Amino acid sequence: MDHMLYVAMSGAKQMLLSQAINTNNLVNANTPGFREDLALFESRPITGSGLPTRVNVVSVQKGFNADPGPLVETGRDLDVAIEGEGWIAVQSPDGGESYTRAGNLRVTSLGMLVTADGSPVLGNSGAPIAIPPAQKVEIGNDGSISVRPLGQTPQALAVIDRIKLVNPDIGSLYKGDDGKIRLRDGEAAVPDASVKLIKGSLEMSNVNAIDAMVNMIAIARQYEMSVKLMNTAKENDVASSQMLKLA
């Protein structure tokens, strides 16, 4: 009896955690550059004194979906998308290096080139990119940043830096709680000149909203099934107690 209740209880708990991951994916279905979180269920034996007769159901986050998302043409000068594989290097809040596919860039009032969430974009040197006062800013397909100084002609474009574009092995990457991608060893990736950008476009989230909605319904039904199983275990326990009283 307690075996049945324990399995149902642990299953219902992990269904809630799985639903949280799926809901986060669905919420970010329209977020540029978002990578879908993946999760699955694992059975882990409960260790301790006595025989190993209990198994806990655990919902674990198994990385992220690295498939590219759809491209949307915006025509904006500071919007860029990765062509094929690769990542844009940005600075993490702790000062470290992380990676993103979100290319909706902007220049702050202090002249820093940042992503939509305010993360400074890094240059090939590993330092944040600073944009001097300019009449126009252009980003090349290779990540080079050119500016036309105020009052100058279009022929006066000057390259001031280059966005750090990297392409480490996908198996060496993990997704942090802040949604940024990092190397598992904590090191900084080496710039890769083969990574190219598409100007005036954005890569959207690779979450399939329809699949996420279907998955949400399926998880909800599985949760309800676990709760019904717990109620059944309770009813069986009450019936067993009444039978023992009659005996």
Residues 128-148 have pLDDT tens digits of: 999 998 888 999 999 999 998
* Shared domain check, 158 and 53: no
Helix axis angle, 2-27 to 209-246, nearest 10°: 160
Q: Average pLDDT in the 183-189 region? A: 91
**Domain check: are 195 and 121 in the same one?**
yes
Same domain (yes/no): 151, 224: no
Specify whether 84 is located in the same domain as 53. Answer: no
Same domain, 30 and 62: yes
Q: What is the mean pLDDT of residues 98-121?
A: 95
Confidence band of 194 (pLDDT split at 50, 70, 90): very high
Cα separations in angstroms, 25 against 34, 57, 63, 194, 207: 9, 22, 13, 30, 6
3-class DSSP assignment, residue 106: strand
pLDDT at 247: 58
217-244 residue pLDDT tens? 998 998 888 888 878 877 777 777 777 6
Q: Residue 51: pLDDT above 60?
A: yes
When pLDDT is averaged across residues 161-165 and rounded to a whole number, the result is 96
Task: Please state, for a pLDDT cut of 90, what percent of the chain lies above it.
Answer: 57
The verdict on 80 and 35 lying in the same domain is no
Question: How many C-beta atoms lie closer than 10 Å to residue 122's C-beta?
Answer: 25
The pLDDT tens digits for 70-108 are: 999 999 999 999 999 999 999 998 889 999 999 999 999
Q: How many CB atoms lie within 10 A of CB 154?
A: 8
Q: Determine the Cα–Cα distance for residues 12 and 165; give it in Å rounded to an integer.
A: 43
If asked whether residues 40 and 75 sit together in one domain, one would say no
Alpha carbons within 13 A on the beta-carbon side of 238:
5
Q: Tell me the one-letter amino acid at 217.
A: I
Distance CA 100, CA 160 (A): 22
The predicted structure's pLDDT at residue 178: 86
The answer on 227 and 147 residing in a single domain is no
Residue matched to tokens 């979180």: 37
Does residue 84 sit in the same domain as residue 195? yes
- Average pLDDT in the chain: 87
- CA gap 70, 82 in Å, rounded: 11
- The stretch 16-43 carries a mean pLDDT of 88
Domain range for 240 is 2-66+207-246
Question: Residue 93 has what pLDDT?
Answer: 87
Structure confidence at residue 13 as a pLDDT band (50, 70, 90): confident
**pLDDT reported for residue 246:** 66
CB 130 within 8 A of CB 111: yes
Between 72 and 10, the higher pLDDT residue: 72
Domains: count for the chain: 2
Does 197 lie in the same domain as 97? yes
Does 134 lie in the same domain as 93?
yes
**Are residue 151 and residue 90 in the same domain, yes or no?**
yes
Q: Band of the pLDDT at 163, cuts 50, 70, 90? A: very high
The CA distance from 102 to 38, in Å, is: 19
pLDDT score, position 70: 95
Q: Is the pLDDT of residue 42 over 90?
A: no
**Span between the terminal Cα atoms of the chain, in Å:** 20
pLDDT at 145: 95
Check whether 40 has a pLDDT greater than 80.
no
Structure tokens at 130: 């600073």
